[in-house]
Amino acid sequence: MKQDTILLAHGSGGTLMHKLISGLFASKFSNPILDKLDDSATFELPPGRVSFSTDTYVVQPLMFRGGNIGKLAVCGTVNDVSAMGAEPMYLSCGFVIEEGLAVSELETILDSMVASAKEAGVLIVTGDTKVVEKGGADRLFINTAGVGVVRDGVDIGAAKAKIGDKILLSGTIGDHGIAVVSEREGLTFETAVESDCAPLNKMISSMLDVSRNVHCLRDPTRGGLASALNEFAAASDVGLHIIEDRVPVRDEVAGACELLGYDVFHVANEGKIVAIVEPADADAVLAAMKTSPYGVDAAIIGEVVDEPKGKVLVDTHFGSTRILDILVGEQLPRIC
């Protein structure tokens, strides 16, 4: 009999679980390394430094415009591995499922994971599933980890920004955060904004093809562009100076930020990259970004300066200069 929902028995090691794993996970993710279904995956890595990253995804709602938790879990880890200048190759994934989750919903999520992994050119080679009682989790949590090999000659790190370097951003900010929050209970508003969730490894790869002088790279996820820039400023002990008018923001995202009292610089992205690049290479790297479908709106948004150390300054559209602060805690709508 076909099950409509995930039951606790699925996680207890019995036949139900076996069916679920072989039926769903193994068939969808199928590849020669995974298909062996051994206790762990074994594979060879090309020579070089390994980049290894893990992240756990707990987004609510599970489905949002432009993606779902599965797409996010694959893209997020692919992007984290890539942001060190590595080519991501293999992923693991762990699922914590609250009993009662519809099998059809899980299938949709797995299909997205397959599609994103395929686009990124990575294989999901090992995984695990746990089913917990009602209330033990919020429907579905996914952990992914990824490994890749860092390109020869590339040396990327948050502490490597140098005075005079240019700051590049791959496109509009705030899309993901606004797409997700617009569907939360209590805050519903209609917008066509889609999450920008996307695998960026190919774009990053093309950037590194044209320059060995990309000093910092980061995907500005939670805490938005403001967090990523502040982390660079602090780690490199330099100032960052950006021009508000050069930072692309969709009108709808700006509108939603007005409505909710958000600062768009604090709103999360899942398909953007911010790079700090040697000035001589900046135009070439920008051109490389723009060849990617995820980088058409890429722009040079500012540069690295001497002072104030550890801080980010923004020249506002209004003609003043302000400090760009880090978001403290959770972003909450401001009303009264």
Partner 1 sequence: MCLGVPGKIVSVTDIMGMRSADVDISGVKRQVSLDLCPEAKEEDYVLVHAGFAIQIIDEQEAEETLKLLQDLTGVDLPEAESAS
Partner 2 sequence: MTLKYISEYRDPILAKSLITKINQTSTRDAKLMEVCGTHTVAIAKHGIRTMMPPTVQLLSGPGCPVCVTANTDIDRAIELSKVDDVVITTFGDMMKVPGSYSSLAKEKAAGSDIRVVYSALDAVELAERTPEKRVVFLAVGFETTAPTIAASVIEAKKRGLKNFFIHAVHKTVPDALRALIESGEVKITGLILPGHVSAIIGTKPYLFLADEYHVPCVISGFEPLDVLQAIYMLVRQIESGEAKIEVQYRRGVLPDGNQVAVETMNKVFEPCDADWRAIGVIPGTGLKLREEYAEFDAVAAIEVELPPVREPKGCQCGEVLRGVLFPYQCKLFGKACTPEAPVGPCMVSSEGSCAAYYRYSDYPEATG
- Single out the residue of 94, 157, 255, 310 in contact with partner 2 (rule: CB under 8 A): 255
Orientation of helix 69-82 relative to helix 103-120, angle to 10°: 30
Question: Using the rule CB under 8 A, is 321 a contact of partner 2?
Answer: yes
In DSSP notation, 113-142 reads HHHHHHHHT-EEEEEEEEEE-TTSSSSEEE
246 binds partner 2 (CB under 8 A): no
- Asked if residue 245 binds partner 1 (CB under 8 A), the reply is no
Query: Does 336 contact partner 2 by CB under 8 A?
Result: yes
259 binds partner 1 (CB under 8 A): yes
* Amino acid present at 211: S
Near partner 1 by CB under 8 A: residue from 215, 250, 272, 311? 250
Show the site string, 95-124: x = touches partner 2 by CB under 8 A, - = not: ------------------------------
Decide if 36 contacts 134 (C-beta within 8 A): no
Cα-flanking dihedrals φ and ψ of residue 308, to 5°?
-80, 130
Name residues whose C-beta falls within 8 Å of residue 238's C-beta, 6 or more positions apart in sequence. Answer: 161, 162, 163, 232, 304, 305, 306, 309, 310
Closest CB 329 distance from partner 2, rounded Å: 7
Question: Can residue 329 be called a binding residue for partner 2 (CB under 8 A)?
Answer: yes
Q: Which does 1 bind (CB under 5 to 8 A by kind): partner 2, partner 1, none?
A: none
**Of 328 and 336, CB closest to partner 1:** 336
**Residue 139 or 250 with smaller CB distance to partner 2:** 250
Distance of alpha carbon 265 from alpha carbon 269, whole angstroms? 10
Part in contact with partner 1 (CB under 8 A); list of ranges 43-51, 59-67, 189-197, 321-329: 189-197
Among 176, 241, 272, 311, binds partner 2 (CB under 8 A): 311
CB atoms within 10 A of CB 157: 14
Q: In what order do the strands lie in the sheet with 50-57?
A: 50-57, 140-150, 86-98, 123-132
Residues 6+ apart with CB under 8 A from 328: none
List interacting residues with partner 1 (CB under 8 A).
182, 189-193, 250-252, 254-256, 258-259, 261, 334-336
